[in-house]
Amino acid sequence: MMLALIVILPLIMAAFLALLFRNNGSIVKYTALAASIASLLLIIYLYLSIGSGPFSPQSFQWFSLGNISFNISIITAPINMFLLLLVGIMTPLIFLYSIGFMNMQSQQARFYFEMSIFAAAMMLLAISASLITMFIAWEMLGVTSYLLIGFWYWKEKPPAAARKAITIILIGDMLMLVGILLIGITYGTFEFSALFSAAPTPALDTALLLILLAAFTKSAQFPFHEWLPDAMEGPAPVSAFLHSSTMVKAGVFLIAVLLPLYISAGLLPVMLIFGLISAILGVSNALAERHIKKILAYSTIEDLGLMFVALGLGSLFGAMLLFFVQTFYKGLLFMGAGSLMRANNEREDIFTNYSSATNKLIFVPIVIGALSMAGIFPLSGVFGKSAIASVAEDTNILAYAVLVLLGLGSSIYIFRWLFIPMSKPFKDEKQIEVNYRITPKTMIAAAIVLAILVIIAPIFYAYPTLLTLGIFSGSSIPLNEMAEVSVIALVGLAIAYRIYRQGHALHVASANRPLYVAFYNSIIVNGLYLYLAKAVASAADAAGYLDLKLDKLTYSASSAMLSVGSALRKLVNGQTNVYVAAFVIGIVLLLALFIW
């Protein structure tokens, strides 16, 4: 079991070696890559060495407070090893891509230090067996994501995006901390295994609701979702890591681990409703957005919403299957977005990007990622979407109808994202040759490996014991459901091709402003954020004003008492007649008070 913690050590060591060799970018980046590969090899060894269960947590006492022990607890159950494997696979691929992408030598040490700690935090979260261990990893993810989103701090937008992200996430962190304390006070334990057998109480239900809201903030669900598109101000490797296998999925993973408790508490409808709302908002905003990475960010909001829909329908299988396949196609699409931006002089608008400017060895994997995300058979994306659609069709026909419309919308926007840069030729042939020549091989290699994983990922569904410890066993997806999802995706492809590839459609904002705002409702949500921020600021100003007035009142009262004291001190002058007069006056006042 100790090996589960050891897999994190290479990344921790690489992080501090980055600080030690901060002036040598080559040593830093290749050390980080080697450490990530070492962690992956240890994870594979751990897979091969563990048996079929039972999977008992192992705890290491941190400290105790009264009768409550605060322990670092880890476990290697199938769902934990499942996430650990995904993070282990993605980390070296992200680092390999970063070697070519992050070409600023002065920033290498800071980048790989933060990325290594980020990956280590996600691995710790993956094997957490208690709320305390989970919260430690949760906070590490929050801090490092803040640093990575604001990595280019000398630019105008990244610092604001980082502050927005950490502010919204901290709201959830506070709610989660209150929920954890409620559980600890009520049950005297923070272990997941103990909670599963604990008697339900109103305190537990309240704590679970608070933890669910914390998961919504972390996984960018309505109404906390707008920090995620702004987080695209970070470097492309950060976006690829953030959206594929790390932080934004932490909330989904936590709820998946605690799903039996949420079923008992009757909170599944909350997940279903908010998951559907978030998915709808993700699709509508992606249809109107122009920023090449923000479109993908809204697609991630949709994906995460669908995972919560699956959990809300009680389908751990559907949620985890989409969780699995989304890792590869979303990482690939963000790598593709970073490559397109790099080839087009860092332009972010899809209407000013040219796909012909980038290397075809990168562009072909991008197409594979888009086809997979749309849900076209036999690529991996269709399996995740079909699993959720299948359970919705059987249990909630209204949710199923919404999912069908969402499937059509997501297919349209991802091919819109793909076709608009393809709809016009890049005229500077010399510049195309330069872009081809300077495309780093490490970026190409990482994209190709991810494209291969997108293609072969269905093998893990077909053979559920292969490296996933049977997490996909016991459930199946009807072939007709996969056919329906694929047909809907193809219809979306045809619509997008007709409008954006052939018709060269203008941006909707230029034609109809009300329609644009209806789709791009990010404007409304961010306006609400601003209104709430101003309301909080006004309340703080009012509290400050009241505090100042109370302070002045207290000061005036104290000054008056000092004056009274000074006057009374003058009576203490050693004259007996003054003392006798004071005594008599006091007796008279006491008698008057008594009579009254």
Of the spans 15-29, 48-62, 395-409, which averages the highest pLDDT? Answer: 395-409
Average pLDDT over residues 565-578: 75
Nearest one of 469, 467, 455, 470 to 89, comparing CA atoms: 467
140 domain-assigned: no
Q: Which of 45-49, 282-286, 486-490, 570-574 has the lowest mean pLDDT?
A: 570-574
Range(s) of the domain holding residue 330? 267-516
Q: What is the pLDDT of residues 373-413, one digit of tens each?
A: 999 988 988 998 999 999 999 889 999 999 999 999 999 99
Spell out where 251-290 has E strands.
none
Nearest one of 409, 219, 374 to 311, comparing CA atoms: 219
Average pLDDT over residues 212-226: 93
Residue 424 neighbours by CB distance under 10 Å: 14
pLDDT surpassing 90 at residue 500: no
183 domain-assigned: no
Q: What value does the mean pLDDT of the chain take?
A: 86
Task: Examine the domain organization and report whether 273 and 371 are in the same domain.
Answer: yes
Token pair recorded at residue 521: 């409702």
Nearest one of 484, 348, 370, 483 to 419, comparing CA atoms: 370
Nearest one of 363, 351, 501, 358 to 423, comparing CA atoms: 501
Task: Give dist(CA 199, CA 219) in Å, integer.
Answer: 29
Task: Examine the domain organization and report whether 437 and 551 are in the same domain.
Answer: no
Residues ≥6 apart with Cβ < 8 Å to 516: 288, 508, 509
Task: Examine the domain organization and report whether 367 and 290 are in the same domain.
Answer: yes
Token pair recorded at residue 15: 């992080």
Average pLDDT over residues 414-431: 74
Q: Which of 141-155, 309-323, 432-446 has the lowest mean pLDDT?
A: 432-446
10 domain-assigned: no
pLDDT surpassing 90 at residue 221: yes
Write the DSSP assignment of 281-337 as a string of letters. HHHHHHHH--BHHHHHHHHHHHHHHHHHHHHHTT-HHHHHHHHHHHHHHHHHHHHHH
**Whose structure tokens read 């079923």?**
263
583 domain-assigned: yes
* Confidence tier at 427 by pLDDT (50, 70, 90): low
13 domain-assigned: no
Q: What is the pLDDT of residues 333-346, one digit of tens each?
A: 999 998 888 888 77
Nearest one of 87, 86, 110 to 98, comparing CA atoms: 110
**What domain count does the chain have?**
2
Task: Examine the domain organization and report whether 447 and 576 are in the same domain.
Answer: no
463 domain-assigned: yes
411 domain-assigned: yes
Task: Examine the domain organization and report whether 419 and 295 are in the same domain.
Answer: yes
pLDDT surpassing 70 at residue 121: yes
18 domain-assigned: no
Q: What percent of the chain has pLDDT over 70?
A: 91
Sign (positive or negative) of CA dihedral 510, 280, 79, 71: positive
* Confidence tier at 215 by pLDDT (50, 70, 90): very high
For position 512, what pLDDT does the model report? Answer: 59
For position 334, what pLDDT does the model report? Answer: 93
Ramachandran region of residue 537, left (φ > 0), alpha (ψ -120 to 50) or beta? Answer: alpha
Q: Which of 489, 516, 543 is the last residue of a domain?
A: 516
Q: What is the pLDDT of residues 521-567, one digit of tens each?
A: 888 888 888 888 889 899 999 999 999 989 899 898 888 888 888 87
Sign (positive or negative) of CA dihedral 468, 470, 475, 477: positive
CA 528 to chain centroid, in Å, comes to 21
pLDDT surpassing 80 at residue 433: no
pLDDT surpassing 90 at residue 256: yes
Token pair recorded at residue 231: 């987080």
Please tell me whether residue 52 adopts helix, strand or coil conformation.
coil
CA 243 to chain centroid, in Å, comes to 7
Nearest one of 299, 302, 289, 303 to 348, comparing CA atoms: 289
Task: Examine the domain organization and report whether 359 and 285 are in the same domain.
Answer: yes
Task: Examine the domain organization and report whether 511 and 543 are in the same domain.
Answer: no
Task: Examine the domain organization and report whether 539 and 476 are in the same domain.
Answer: no
Task: Examine the domain organization and report whether 414 and 563 are in the same domain.
Answer: no
Q: What is the pLDDT of residues 440-498, one digit of tens each?
A: 888 899 999 999 999 988 877 666 555 455 566 667 788 888 899 999 999 999 998 88
For position 282, what pLDDT does the model report? Answer: 93
**Whose structure tokens read 């961010």?**
526
Query: What pTM was computed for the model?
Result: 0.88
* Confidence tier at 199 by pLDDT (50, 70, 90): confident
Q: Which of 62-71, 158-167, 263-272, 449-458 has the lowest mean pLDDT?
A: 62-71
For position 258, what pLDDT does the model report? Answer: 93
Task: Examine the domain organization and report whether 288 and 357 are in the same domain.
Answer: yes
Task: Examine the domain organization and report whether 311 and 417 are in the same domain.
Answer: yes
Task: Examine the domain organization and report whether 462 and 591 are in the same domain.
Answer: no
